[in-house]
């Protein structure tokens, strides 16, 4: 289940307070600046720094080049 567009507008990284890349197929919100991924469980993003997992170079490349990825944050 993908995240609601309204929720996507509100989400930001809890540490650097910037936007995230949401890749629904992988169920992750990804911060390419910090190279950490936050899991989305069902339709609930787990935005705890202690739950974030590091992302290796190959996964970083795959996530940032995924054409289905959507950036969080207000679009206007």
Q: What is the pLDDT of residue 52?
A: 97
Instruction: With respect to residue 33, please indicate whether it lies within any of the assigned structural domains.
Output: yes
Domain hosting residue 48, numbered range: 5-71
Which residues 6+ apart lie within 8 Å of 36 measured at CB? 30, 52, 53, 54, 55
Q: What is the pLDDT of residue 76?
A: 46
Question: pTM for the whole thing?
Answer: 0.92
Angle at CA 40, nearest 5°, toward 28 and 72? 60
17's tokens: 């307070």
Instruction: With respect to residue 76, please indicate whether it lies within any of the assigned structural domains.
Output: no
Tally of structural domains, the chain:
1
19-73 tens-digit pLDDT:
999 999 999 999 999 999 999 998 899 999 999 999 999 999 999 999 999 999 9
Cβ-in-10-Å burial (0-12, 13-18, 19+) of 72 comes to: buried
CATH of residue 49's domain is 2.20.25.10
């Amino acid at each position: 289940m993908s995240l609601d567009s309204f929720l996507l507008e509100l989400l930001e990284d809890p540490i650097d307070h910037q936007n995230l890349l949401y890749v629904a197929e992988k169920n992750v919100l990804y911060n390419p600046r910090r190279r950490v991924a936050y899991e989305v469980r069902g339709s609930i993003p787990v935005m705890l720094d202690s739950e974030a997992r590091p992302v290796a170079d190959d996964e970083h490349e795959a996530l940032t080049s995924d054409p289905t990825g959507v950036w969080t944050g207000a679009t206007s």
